[in-house]
Structure 1
Amino acid sequence: MITPLVPVPALDRRSLLRSASLAGSGLALAAWMPAWAQPVSRGIVRPVPQLSGDTIALRVAHEMVRVDGREAHVIAMNGTVPAPLLRLREGQTVRITVANDLDEETSVHWHGLLVPFQMDGVPGVSFPGIKPHSSFTYEFPLEQSGTYWYHSHSGLQEAMGHYGPIVIDPKAVDPIAYDREHVVVFSDHSFIHPHTLFTKLKQESGYFNRQKQTLAGLAAGKDQTHAERLEWARMRMDPTDILDVTGSVYTYVVNGYGPNDNWTALFKPGERVRLRFINASAMTIFNVRIPGLRMTVVAADGLPVRPVPVDELQMSIAETYDVIVTPTADRPYTIVGEAADRSGLARATLAPRAGMVAEVPPLRERPLLTMKDMGMGGMDTPASDDPHAGHDMEGMDMPVSGGGAVGQAGATGHSMSMRDGANALQVALGPGVQSIAPMPMDRTGEPGVGLENVGHKVLVYRDLVALERNPDVRGAAREIEVHLTGNMERYMWSMDGKTLSEAKTPIPLRTDERVRVTLINDTMMNHPIHLHGHFFELVTGHGAHSPRKHTVNVAPGGKLSFDVTGIHGDWAFHCHMFLHMHAGMMRVVQVRDAGDAA
């Protein structure tokens, strides 16, 4: 049972609507505001509260709200989930005072913003945290524009609602033309406390998976063959294990509203509507589409990209995408955020008038993992109409070690994987490392698990091309390889086989040093990796116009590389699957000037 630390009044639907009305009354004053302070969601039915200016006050406290008609205990900022939209302007210096009304420490991290490391908001890494019943003032210049967000980096508060959107307008002419815009924050809400979710996963990794294979699926030929099931069972792997926490306990929300609440944004036919998508979920990767309406991706992680027309995009945790849609018909459309395992969906409506509802598509058939997701991509047969083609593992010699490893442990305990070179000994099998991917491959040209054969265009990382030339086009002076490791059975997660507490030294960089980081996913789970305080350039063949991101998803059994230029400070580097980070999949990147002592 969730019990607030202090008694809090219930915030009912009438209060929420009254707040929305008050926020809407401010629209009459919009013409008198500077351009950067204009309401971001004009013509919205239930707007997200908005704060602007050089001085902003936020209060963190326990609150009660309603989600899909149910009372929910949350940790909110200024009484709302999501927290108020911060509408800011490139070039201004902002002072944000955060008052902590909790009986525990809190913090705010400005996700994707280039700020001095002391303002980055990670307790124990860049600042001491905000103690209970105290306050802290963040102050930093805004060196960029675009769509970003902010959230707690303390305990499990983010998973309880401690997050909010940020829109920073450019100081010059916006390269993206539009007539109207809406912020669309996807997230996941559980009426069960996240500590309980974590405990259940430690007890049984598949506790929340209600989509496992059945005898009926075998008989119908929809799932794996009998031989495949035996092989996967021998390796203690589950091909339906797509997301750790699923729609069995999550309500998927848009701007804090569940599917039955039907959050609605308005448009006029023929308008170019900019939708600023933010994935602020704790554990959910969303596949986003608007049936009947094509989207043009114009920005990724806040920075403009060359326009890419798509029908669907997979948005990993902590990523942001801006898209342009131009609805010409006088009818409503459904914005669908389907969980990657297809156990549930978030739903909102884009409509010419309030009260309109479009058809909500049914959930699609849940996907299955394959050998490629085990890191054996070279063994998969190319595309085939047979869903099982290339996945027959019968007769293959794939020894089990450490509770289901694909790589075999030698006498030294080190991985004897199929990979060559010095890095083959970088990770040892053990209680916390269940597997070593034998043949990890670059999957940046793939749309994501379950989207391979949907019959329409899905965004892939290789589609992204920076609109402007990268500020640093030097080649990397050296390469750092980081393995994403774990043991799903025991719900243990790490980098290079070590949790944050076990890693004795940070990852060292020099200020202004150009480094290539290669991430290798030795697990069968997606890992959205975020580097604080930096943008990095994905190595996807676009040279000086490589896409610049701050968060990138590493597919199961996959690998990818990015180039980054070191910025002075101590920076968190972690998986944004919230419970993976909580379990230890995090390191500190320490960037020092050339003359500094290590």
Structure 2
Amino acid sequence: MTSTIDRRSLLRAGAMGAAGLGWSGLFPAWAQTGSPGLRPQMPTLSGEDIRLTVGHSPFTVGGRNGHAITLNGVLPAPLIRLREGQNVRIHVENTLDEDTSIHWHGLILPFHMDGVPGISFPGILPKTTFTYEFPIVQNGTYWYHSHSGLQEQSGHYGPLVIDPADSDPVAYDREHVIVLSDWTFLHPHELFGKLKQQGGYFNRQRQTLAGLIGGEDELAHTMPLEERMMWGKMRMDPADIADVTGATYTFLVNGHGAAENWTGLFRPGERVRLRFINASAMTIFNIRIPGLPMTIVSADGQNVQPVETDEFQISVAETYDAIVTPTEDRAFTLVAESIDRSGMGRATLAPRMGMQAPVPPLRRKPVLGMKDMGMGGMDHGSMPGMDHGSGSMNHGMRDKSLVPDDVDVDVGVGVDMIAPMPVDRTGDRPLGLEDEPHRVLTYHDLAPLRPFHDKRQPTRSVDIHLTGNMERFMWSFDGKKLNEGAEPIRFARNERVRVNLINNSMMSHPIHIHGHFFELVTGMPAGNPVKHTVNVMPGGKASFDLTADAPGDWAFHCHLLYHMHAGMMNVVKVRPMDDEGEKA
């Protein structure tokens, strides 16, 4: 298992007593010689007693120095490796001058160990230590991160792998953990402030007046003038794919930028397991390894029936395990291209250190279409707001009078759009990959290796609308922000519920529920994939069936960090508790 760490952070961790913190490698050769591509073993912690220290660290990438919030002095944090069936105690010391926390993303555990301040516990106060203690009842690829403020953006995240108690159904000879993330030298609160001032602040590829009229911008190559004029009339930007882009982000693989070329080794003919974790604050990645097919064997830590593909999209907070079997004695480039094509994370798989393969250029930026505006089920020639003479549309998408009576959305300044006719998009190719000539994974390609344990049909249905005002960077569920009028979502213990996520915005939203897994409803004959996070495409819908078998209070939110921070979050209450009867 290999990973990378910043040289200064490594030295700092050494001064703290790295051996006592579970380091499994010495100083990497690249830190001694300056040669890029040479990597140490990933710092790994295991056993029943684990210690983590949250603190400040310097961080260097691309020749620039910045400030990070790290665990045990490294970015990403150490790999925590556990075994299904064990118990674990994790002591977290907070050396910061602010509260912190750790959420164990995707783990099934008692709710008071889930690590969300204000919902499941008070948080970890400065200069104190908190001990998490819980049984390990599952296996797979997961991760952990802060749920306090915007610390996750600054480096407070790390991988977590749980080995199965019995034999692993996935055969492999070697594995690499691949932690994808986005890094900015801006303070996270400064970045958030810029988004609040102007929703498209970091969109350097947005449609301009000159480009609209003269065709100078890239949009002219992908969209006819008539369509560009239509978007202009609606005051919407078809290039608004990502809120934060490569204009400020450096995209990292295991803590290293593209030029530093993190390298994972293999011997030709080996089955190599790649455990992909998207630990980004805001970046959805498209993953491909030119010349090397990938067989997906797990999603969100849950085994799936193996499916071969050439590219897949991994949304924020999702994990995917893939098997690759390189047979040639040559290097392969691992490409993690941001969804808006403003940059990429890059790594190399190779038989020997120092080898490289060609790095493909960034592909053309995708643009939003009618389906992304929630018009997937409409006859565009007869829909409200369409000017039949010119083929253009007026501002009908923003006209609140068009909201159907049965849509329970708090319409106000925080909601600038209601999708007229959203459709289920779980079978669609991901945004920007619609026309790729090779195989592209969709949720409909995922089927569980073993069926979900609860085979009951849902007894009721709950609609949740994903709402926002893109220009003012306001985000919510059903038009209501957490702590500003949003009523908790209440489920009876062991209730089987269908939850319908309806995306009324033109942005993708990775929606995550704590403490539970759900069946993503695809309607495919091989069964519904079991996940904890689902990416809801722009103007689309996604449904999942949930068994509310974990009593307690659980966070439910968009995992785009700044969307959650802006208000797209709520609390799921599952009652009764074991010791509280029907107490709410």
TM-score, normalised via structure 1 length = 0.88
Aligned 8 A contact 1:503 1:587 in 2: no
Q: How does 1:466-545 map to 2 (within 5 A)?
A: 466-542=448-524, 545=527
1:110 is aligned to: 104
Distance 2:259 2:518 in 1: 39
Counterpart Cα distance in 2 of 1:108 and 1:14: 22
- Residue-by-residue CA offset, 1:309-362 (whole Å, 9 max, x unaligned): 000000000000000000000000111000000000000110000111111110
For the pair 1:409 / 2:396, whether they are aligned, the reply is no
Hey, what's the Cα distance between the residues in 2 that align with 1:377 and 1:526? 15
Gaps of 5+ in 2: 1-5, 29-36, 381-385
Q: 1:43-96: CA deviations, max 9, x gaps?
A: 983332110100000000010022223212100000001000001000001000
Question: Is the alpha carbon distance of 1:87 and 1:44 closer, same or farther for their aligned partners in structure 2, counting shifts above 3 Å?
Answer: farther
* Cross-structure match for 1:281: 280
**In structure 1, what is the Cα distance between the partners aligned to 2:502 and 2:42?**
38
The alignment status of 1:78 with 2:72, answered yes or no, reads: yes
Shift, 1:236, TM fit:
1.8
Residue type matched to 1:293 in 2?
L
Counterpart amino acid of 1:103?
D
1:208 corresponds to 2:202: yes
**How far apart, in 2, do the equivalents of 1:449 and 1:191 lie?**
28
**Alpha-carbon shift at residue 231 of structure 1 (Å):** 2.2
Consecutive aligned runs of 4 or more in structure 1 exceeding 2 Å deviation: 10-27, 43-48, 213-221, 223-231, 378-381, 391-400, 407-410, 542-545
- Pick from 443, 448, 451: which aligns with 2:433? 451
Quick one: structure 1 residues 587 and 56, their matched pair in 2 at CA, closer, same or farther if it must change by over 3 Å?
A: same
Report if the CA contact (8 A) 2:490-2:573 is conserved. Answer: yes
Q: Measure, in 1, the Cα distance between the counterparts of 2:379 and 2:256.
A: 41
Correspondence for 2:376: 377
Matched, 1:63 2:57: yes
Aligned to 1:596: 582
Conserved 8 A contact 2:23-2:45: no
Render the CA deviation track for 1:139-166: whole Å, top value 9, x for unaligned: 0001100000000000000010000000
- Distance (whole Å) between structure 1 residues aligned to residue 10 and residue 48 of structure 2: 32
Q: Counterpart of 1:246?
A: 245
Q: What does 1:126-275 correspond to in 2, within 5 Å?
A: 126-214=120-208, 215=210, 219=215, 221-275=220-274
C-alpha deviations, 1:188-242, integer Å up to 9, x for none? Answer: 0001111111111111111111112354585374143333233212222100000
Aligned partners of 2:128, 2:575: CA distance in 1, in Å? Answer: 31
Offset of 1:379 from its aligned partner? 4.1
CA separation in 2, counterparts of 1:308 and 1:86? 28
Query: Is the deviation greater in 63-72 or in 87-96?
Result: 63-72
Contact kept in structure 2, 1:45 and 1:266, CA below 8 Å: no
What's the CA shift for 1:13? 8.1
The aligned residue for residue 40 of structure 1 is: none
Q: Does 1:119 align with 2:113?
A: yes
Q: Structure 1 residue 397: deviation in Å?
A: 7.8
Aligned residue in 2 for 1:354:
353
Q: Aligned pair 1:12/2:8, yes or no? A: yes
Distance 1:95 1:282 in 2: 27
* Contact 2:226/2:392 (<8 A) preserved: no
Q: CA RMSD in A?
A: 2.4
SS, match of residue 406 in structure 1 = helix
Instruction: Tell me the CA shift for residue 12 of structure 1.
Output: 2.9
Q: Distance in 1 between matches of 2:571 and 2:316?
A: 20
For residue 202 of structure 1, give the secondary structure of its aligned residue in structure 2: helix
Q: Helix, strand or coil for the counterpart of 1:239? A: coil
Is contact 1:112-1:533 (8 Å) kept? yes
CA distance in 2, matches of 1:355, 1:530: 39
Output aligned runs, 1:386-397, within 5 Å: 395=390
CA distance in 2, matches of 1:393, 1:107: 55
Following superposition, the deviation at residue 364 of structure 1 comes to 0.2
Would you say the 8 A contact 2:409–2:478 is kept in 1?
A: yes
Q: Output the CA distance in 1 between the equivalents of 2:301 and 2:418.
A: 34
Q: C-alpha distance in 2, partners of 1:24/1:108?
A: 25
Is the aligned partner of 1:87 residue 2:81? yes
Closer/same/farther in 2, CA of residues 565 and 114 from structure 1, 3 Å limit: same
Change (3 A) 1:17 1:161: closer
1:339 matched residue in structure 2: 338
What is the number of equivalent residue pairs in this alignment? 552
2:326 maps to 1:322: no
Please report how far the alpha carbon of residue 399 of structure 1 lies from its aligned counterpart in structure 2 after TM superposition.
Answer: 5.1
What is the CA distance between 1:502 and its match in structure 2? 1.3
Query: Is residue 186–residue 278 contact of structure 1 (8 Å, CA) maintained in 2?
Result: yes
Secondary structure of 2:259's partner?
coil
CA distance in 1, matches of 2:443, 2:512: 16
Deviations 1:389-437 (A, max 9, x none): xx9997468553xxxx615323xxxxx33x5xx633x114320000100
Distance 1:44 1:530, change over 3 A: farther
| 408 and 213 in structure 1: CA distance in 2 versus 1, 3 angstrom threshold | closer
The aligned amino acid for 2:25 is: G
Q: 2: CA distance between counterparts of 1:138 and 1:460?
A: 36
The TM-score normalised by the length of structure 2 is 0.90
In the aligned structure 2, how far is the partner of 1:371 from the partner of 1:26? 53
Gaps of 5+ in 1: 1-9, 28-42, 382-390, 411-415
Equivalent in 441, 451, 461 of residue 443 of structure 2: 461
